[in-house]
Structure 1
Amino acid sequence: MEHRPLSELGHIADLKQPLRAPALSRRERLDRWAELLERDPDRLLKTLDEIEWKPKAERRQMRADGTALAVAYADPILRTDGLASDRFGDAVRFFQISEYDAHIVLCSCHGGESMKSEEAARRVRGIRSPSLWSLYFGWFR
């Protein structure tokens, strides 16, 4: 039997990481996402086009470069904690939010073709704390 470091085995074997419990709570994940968005508050982010009109299977696969989801997925902490991609469905699962809440943060019908990163952060904070929704987003739920 030959012993090799794990780093070398990845070239000759299909290694899978064992499933583990997430390190961050739902609130910590949403806070982290909002903080990432707030780092560059004037950055223009793309929105996803008319999410609500897409069939569920298509909606779950939606993604685009330069979205609020792309900002989250670029973060190594959120990826390590289990964010699988910058797709709509993966974000709903990972952040443990409803499709309705994700729609409010990400859809073109709420932000036009693009929105400032600070606005996206405000919306993320609104879904994190629904009792404070009107403070973050200016709406009553």
Structure 2
Amino acid sequence: MEHKHLDQLRTVADVQPRSLTRQERLERWIGLLERDPTRRLNSLGEIEYKPPEERALIREDNSPLTVAFEDPVLRADGLGSDRLGDAMNFFELSDGQAHYALCSCLSGRHMEASSFAQRLRNTMTDANWRLGAWALAGLALSLPGVIYLFH
């Protein structure tokens, strides 16, 4: 088998790296934050009070979004800037998830990187928990009908 550098392969074929999944993107961001867990980062100022157009443009120097945008892998995968709107689109965060993970009203103006990482990790499990809760509620509501049918 002959080995060639990626640049050499590009002259022969259109070689495109695989895009990261949402979970891989979030895990990478969390890992970047956890590399320097005591680093003090700036949260985003009261994002819930801004209209959606303004909210998308919010950014802070030395924020968790800065950490993500400094990473060449995340930029190569499509992270366009360290603005909230680009990050929400790229990491597929809902308004509630972005608010919980990044807003100053929940964390104060500054927080350690490890705390932001934990909040982001919580957003990853949040959707799974809600799905399980809805499934359990559906089962609880349908159980009396099933018992009635087979009793």
* TM value normalised by structure 2: 0.72
43, 48, 55: which one aligns with 2:51: 55
Partner of 1:125: 121
Partner of 1:12: none
State the AA in 1 paired with 2:36: D
Distance, in Å, in 2 between the alignment partners of 1:110 and 1:22 is 36
Partner of 2:67: 71
Query: Is the partner of 1:38 in helix, strand or coil?
Result: helix
State the AA in 1 paired with 2:71: D
Partner of 2:95: 99
Flag the structure with higher helix content: 2
May I ask how many residue pairs the two structures share in their alignment?
A: 114
41, 52, 65: which one aligns with 1:45: 41
* TM value normalised by structure 1: 0.77
Unaligned runs of 5+ in 1: 1-19, 134-141
Distance, in Å, in 2 between the alignment partners of 1:44 and 1:132 is 30
- The structure with more radius of gyration: 2
State the AA in 1 paired with 2:51: P
Deviating 4+ runs (over 6 angstroms): none
Q: Shift of the alpha carbon at 1:128?
A: 1.1
Identity of aligned residues (%): 48
Q: Shift of the alpha carbon at 1:23?
A: 1.1
Deviations 1:94-113 (A, max 9, x none): 00110110111110001101
